[in-house]
Amino acid sequence: MRRRLALLVTATACLVLVAFLVPLAVLVRAVAQDRAVVTATADVQGLVPLAATTDRAGLASLASGAGRPVTVYLPDGSSVGAPAPRTPAVELAARGRSLTVKVDGGREIVVSVQGRDDGTVVLRTFVTAEELSRGVTRAWLVLAALGVALVLVGLFVADRLARSLVASITELSTVSHRLAGAELSARATPSGPAELRDVAGALNHLAGRIQDLLREEREQVADLSHRLRTPLTALRLEAEALADPAEAARVTAGVDAVERAVSGLIRAARHSAPAAGGCDAAAVVRDRVAFWAVLAEDTGRDVRLDLVDGPLPVPVAADDLAAAVDALLGNVFAHTPDGTPFGVSLGGDGVLTVTDEGPGLPAGAGERGESGAGSTGLGLDIARRAGRVLRLSNSPTGGAVVTLELLARP
């Protein structure tokens, strides 16, 4: 923007200078020419009274004593003074007409002197081109220097103005990027023209409004999540009252998992940004598959588990990864009939793959909030937020294939 403003000011200044300096330069040249002609004419006119009464010898002395070359043409056709050919202008002057004629190399000035007994005498002088342009070059250089100085001053003022405008716009851009990066405390300092101050005020108002909306949303989510603790407590009491210890342990583990998810949701709602963490992906996946394996056995599903040997650290919190695995396996149980086999694999490259031999993924299955089976449609979005990349496809046999990358590719 600074460059564009500088170019605009330069172009405008140049146009204004051309509009004023070119006519002024032409005027300076015309004035110099007129001054030279007037000076030469005055010199010759000063000789007229003497030329009207002086004899031939006196005319020769008069011509030689003039301050500039003067030729005196006598009535008999001879001439004295500076040698010069008899021109048509001289012939006209011999008939009683004084004039100035533009010729090659300068101006010819002829003055007719009448009243002599022997006839009309003509005084002639010549103004060279050098005399006509004397001082013009220097005046033009002064005008050019003045024009350059004005352009430089204009550029300096334009740069100062552009710098103030660009500084305000740059600050607005910086604040908007900080807001986009979840730094909601960022605010712009109103400065610059009134329009930019209005934009800064609107941006600050928008940032405050975003903070208010997020605060209200977090409070609502936290309140809703907290309300779930009451039915979870009731479920825990019901589980502890079961006669079969194994069944009680299984149900209690499920209640614990839901309670952990609710606690995590409350913590996330209470904070503006999720806390960074990491976990052993192999251990988390093994634990969640073991949890779902009990339900798989009840519904007649075969489970294939293929995990990498040893720990696999990933930059994902254990609760988030567990929620993602639960969401993917929950989709298998929700969208495939009982008895459908499924498999879970985790490679050393951090790629988690969940496959099944069901009917495959319907169109639009990856859209947030879209579900054709009566669910919320947010399971895949939970998995997507836990990993780097989520890919959905169908296997050659028709079943669904969901791939979640937990590590960034080198």
Q: What is the pLDDT of residue 270?
A: 57
Q: Which two tokens stand for residue 337?
A: 């009939």
Q: What pLDDT band is residue 410 in, cutting at 50, 70 and 90?
A: low
Q: What pLDDT band is residue 28 in, cutting at 50, 70 and 90?
A: very high
| Distance from C-alpha of 237 to C-alpha of 170, rounded to nearest angstrom | 60
Q: 3-class SS at 113?
A: strand
263, 271, 254: which is closest to 228 by C-alpha? 263
347, 343, 339, 371: which is closest to 356 by C-alpha? 343
The count of other CB atoms within 10 Å of the CB of residue 148 is: 11
The pLDDT tens digits of the residues spanning 29-39 come to 999 999 999 99
Q: What is the pLDDT of residue 369?
A: 46
Residues 6+ apart with CB under 8 A from 228: 258, 262
Q: What is the pLDDT of residue 407?
A: 85
The pLDDT tens digits of the residues spanning 346-366 come to 998 999 999 999 888 876 665
**What are the start and end residues of each CATH 3.30.565.10 domain in the chain?**
278-405
Q: Please state whether the predicted TM-score (pTM) of the whole model is above 0.95.
A: no
The pLDDT tens digits of the residues spanning 192-208 come to 788 888 988 999 999 89
Give the CATH fold of the 278-405 domain: Heat Shock Protein 90 (3.30.565)
Q: What pLDDT band is residue 313 in, cutting at 50, 70 and 90?
A: very high
Q: What pLDDT band is residue 235 in, cutting at 50, 70 and 90?
A: confident
Q: What is the pLDDT of residue 378?
A: 62
What are the DSSP calls for 137-196, one per residue? HHHHHHHHHHHHHHHHHHHHHHHHHHHHHHHHHHHHHHHHHHHHTT-TT------SSHHH
Q: Mean pLDDT in the chain?
A: 84
Asked if residue 322 has pLDDT above 60, the reply is yes
Q: What is the pLDDT of residue 318?
A: 87
Q: What is the pLDDT of residue 376?
A: 46
Q: 3-class SS at 15?
A: helix
Q: Give mean pLDDT, residues 162-188.
A: 85
Q: Are 72 and 62 in contact (CB under 8 A)?
A: yes
Asked if residue 276 has pLDDT above 70, the reply is no
Using the structure block, give the residue that is written with the tokens 């720990």.
Answer: 311
Asked if residue 286 has pLDDT above 90, the reply is yes
Percent of the chain with pLDDT strictly greater than 90: 26
What are the DSSP calls for 323-341, one per residue? HHHHHHHHHHHHHS-TT--
| Distance from C-alpha of 319 to C-alpha of 146, rounded to nearest angstrom | 75
